[in-house]
Amino acid sequence: MRVLPTEIEIKRAVLKSFDSQQNSGIWPKYFPLFNYGMGEAGSNYFFSFELLEVILGEFEKSDLLEERVVLDGIEKALSWCKSNRLVHRSGHDIYKGWNSGGQITTLKEGKPELA
């Protein structure tokens, strides 16, 4: 019995995943990876760009990345990144990046996740 999907099945799943990408460039949340404690942010989800990173890394030498739906999806994701980039100053230091929303305190303060 075969346990892992074939390469064709995996590529089809990736292509299909772009059907779920929102116009904003991110994917809708599904089940949380874990939940924070009381008084914290709530749930933590797989961030859209972790998914995109996996796709780009796994298929970098594949013709999959040349598919129109994938190219359009990457363009939408980059547009989201450009629109939602945070800049946070702390003393003389400047931090730039994004926040997936998992930590409510840093999100309210407009801090990127690694600031």
Q: 92 falls in which pLDDT band (50, 70, 90)?
A: very high
Q: How far is CA 98 from CA 1, 19, 32, 34, 113, in A?
A: 43, 24, 19, 20, 6
Q: Are residues 78 and 58 in the same domain?
A: yes
Q: Are residues 18 and 45 in the same domain?
A: yes
What is this structure's pTM? 0.74
Point out the least confidently predicted range of 26-30, 73-77, 107-111: 26-30
Q: Are residues 77 and 92 in the same domain?
A: no
Q: Higher pLDDT residue, 101 or 13?
A: 13
Among the listed residues 75, 72, 76, 70, the one whose alpha carbon sits nearest the alpha carbon of residue 56: 70
Quick one: 99 exposed, middle or buried, by C-beta within 10 A (0-12, 13-18, 19+)? buried
What's the whole-number mean pLDDT along residues 65-88?
Answer: 92
Question: Is the residue at 93 inside a domain?
Answer: yes
